[in-house]
Amino acid sequence: MKDSESWERARIGRPPSELAGEVEARILEAAARVFLARGFDGASIGEIAEAARAGKATIYARYLDKEALFAAAFLRRLSQRNLRLETIAPTGATVEERLARIGAALIEESLSDDFLGLLRLAIAEARRRPDLARQVMRQARERGGQMIAHMLTEGVGGPDLGDKAPAAARYFAEVVLLPFLMRALAEEDVGLLRAEIAEHAKSRARFFLAALRNGGLGE
């Protein structure tokens, strides 16, 4: 079985020039497009290299195999989502309103076609490539949790969460995002789901604050 750390290894040497970052971005963008269009099995390193205007050797110098490339492409999409979320100011007169703003933004950004499409591919490969699926889902939880913890502690102005911030972030993501994500992955109409986001985010913000007040996060 492959070492799970191999999924996160991108480079195996120093970049040949100052343009290495731009080349890598092209590779990962092309990989995401090809995987979404062809599926995991249908995508080839050759087609990805052509779409990225890069050689196959350039890709293999950075990524161990197609699975590692897929994981890196997904994580790039995840990072882009998180960066967009971090630019959102959680506006509102109350803590509940600001939490609802964060929750609504989290759902909106997670219902993009690209994000959902790559997540569906990872889930579809879980039976044959469990390490890949586990890695993608773990990174989604961990990186999403870190981003939400930062937003909760820096932007909401609510209770001091202290060392409970990571647990609070995971709990918030689960109660706010998970129901919508599961419905979207089950192919419910995303347009109809979006119409429910605002009210759902408000109710989940109230639920989350009640859990905080009543010790629902545990110790």
Domains of the chain: 4-213 (1.10.357.10)
- For the CA atoms of 152, 158, 163, 169, the dihedral, rounded to the nearest 10 degrees, stands at -30
**Residues 14, 8: Cα–Cα separation, whole Å:** 16
CA distances from 157 to 51, 82, 95, 111, 154 (A): 45, 20, 7, 27, 7
40-70: pLDDT as tens digits: 999 999 999 999 999 999 999 999 999 999 9
Q: Is there a contact between 118 and 77 (Cβ–Cβ < 8 Å)?
A: yes
CA distances from 15 to 6, 10, 19, 77 (A): 19, 11, 8, 22
141-178: pLDDT as tens digits: 887 777 777 777 765 655 566 677 778 888 888 889 99
Q: Is there a contact between 69 and 45 (Cβ–Cβ < 8 Å)?
A: yes
Q: Is 55 left (phi over 0), alpha (psi -120 to 50) or beta?
A: beta
pTM (predicted TM-score): 0.77
